[in-house]
Structure 1
């Protein structure tokens, strides 16, 4: 008997191959059922954060692959994957905006259901921190192997592969800062200022994290070039 194009052929119990491949039954069962809600907006809160974790998982995967390319000296391939990671962070930041519609009174009802859960415990964020630290070390090793400094990288033409890689890392750093900024803005809008988070962390301590740089030498290079006399910074030829 011939198989109809509509018949599911992949392993699994779901009625369609789409559901089997995407595992939609399991995915859509990860949120609380209506009978378990302390407030209907719990569904909004869970979906925003669960989807963020999925995007962070993808971001980590891209950065791990970029790290492997850097180790092999494949600068352009690493740049592409870092750009993808930055785009994923942009999407995470944008979908956080829907939480601006969460009334403070609704979140006050939901908050006890979180226990001591906090965004600081996000496994995706922990992996992203590790990945950016590894990338920073790998980039420094790459420059060391080529006997270059970050200032010299920025003296090259804008189409130089190392210049483009450096800018991709800066873009990633900016995306992290913008994500943190949006998170702080929403937290103060929904929770308020001068209060403690679920892990008794002051909400007002978050702005200090926004200015933290994951790739500090790339920012320092800008300051060095700005402060140095123009005639002391000869242009480096592209490699």
Structure 2
């Protein structure tokens, strides 16, 4: 019962820093909910980044079983993030308006960790560096991600190493450019799905990637519905178009051939 001079639970987790990191700018009751919702989401995203990077490295090294475990964890992280919107949705439009003016130009659109996740997964767009231009160290980190193969790039390079024809994706070196869906890649995944018992490791990798994107899409969808429920069709605090922008993002596919192959089978 005595912890003076010994590491305690709070010491190990630095709980004093974490629990004192909430500084509401208004007297509104629900601002604390809003802050904690976004802070905890950023913590989960930090873990997702760690796992995606590790999974990419494992695939690059042909260590697929550890990659499967990491990708399963990423999907569960996004399941947690999806469920968190249910808590925020307990806040009504009237309650949000009590402190929305205190947010200034801050917006989730400016989350560099979210941007890192998109870049790591393969949705790459140089224009999305602009919201972070005031943070050179953040831009440098994002630039480093753009200079390396994405998670999906590593999966396609693995297909090539396993003897599959993936067309231009086998020799592509400009990793920061937006990738174009490739019929050769679609044909390769089709071959894997037509004979899963023959290509089991690749088949399982494909399903782990789809599982990740499935939960990622659910998170995006819950984001859209939560925002519309609370602010309707008003513009976002950071200057985005709000719901219309978020709806557009629902159309983005991280692993397009893995979704299209279902139609081909």
TM-score (norm 1): 0.84
Task: Select 1:208's aligned residue among 248, 251, 263.
Answer: 248
Q: Show the counterpart of 1:19.
A: 10
Task: Select 2:262's aligned residue among 208, 222, 227.
Answer: 222
Determine the C-alpha separation between the residues in 1 that align with 2:35 and 2:208: 31
Task: Tell whether 2:191 aligns with 1:152.
Answer: yes
Determine the C-alpha separation between the residues in 2 that align with 1:51 and 1:83: 20
> Residues 22-61 of structure 1: matches in 2 within 5 Å?
22-32=13-23, 36-61=25-50
Between structure 1 and structure 2, the one with the greater Rg is 1
Q: Give 1:85 shift.
A: 0.6
The runs of 4+ residues in structure 1 deviating greater than 3 Å are 4-8
Task: Select 1:9's aligned residue among 6, 25, 28.
Answer: 6
Determine the C-alpha separation between the residues in 2 that align with 1:103 and 1:130: 33
Gap regions ≥5 residues in structure 1? 11-16, 226-239
Q: Show the counterpart of 2:227.
A: 187
Q: Show the counterpart of 1:102.
A: 91
Q: Show the counterpart of 1:234.
A: none
CA RMSD of aligned residues (A): 1.7
Task: Tell whether 2:74 aligns with 1:85.
Answer: yes
Mapped contact 1:60–1:128 kept (Cα < 8 A) = yes
Determine the C-alpha separation between the residues in 2 that align with 1:162 and 1:5: 53
Gap regions ≥5 residues in structure 2? 123-149, 165-187
Q: Give 1:9 shift.
A: 2.0
Determine the C-alpha separation between the residues in 2 that align with 1:44 and 1:139: 39
Q: Give 1:123 shift.
A: 2.0
1:165-217 Cα shifts (integer Å, max 9, x gaps): 10110011111110010000010100013x21112322223212112111112
Q: Give 1:222 shift.
A: 1.7
Task: Select 2:218's aligned residue among 155, 174, 178.
Answer: 178
Q: 1:5 to 1:67 in 2, by over 3 A?
A: farther
TM-score (norm 2): 0.76
Determine the C-alpha separation between the residues in 2 that align with 1:97 and 1:219: 28
Determine the C-alpha separation between the residues in 1 that align with 2:260 and 2:47: 29
**Does the residue aligned with 1:101 lie in a helix, a strand or coil?**
coil
Task: Select 1:198's aligned residue among 224, 237, 241.
Answer: 237
Mapped contact 1:53–1:123 kept (Cα < 8 A) = no
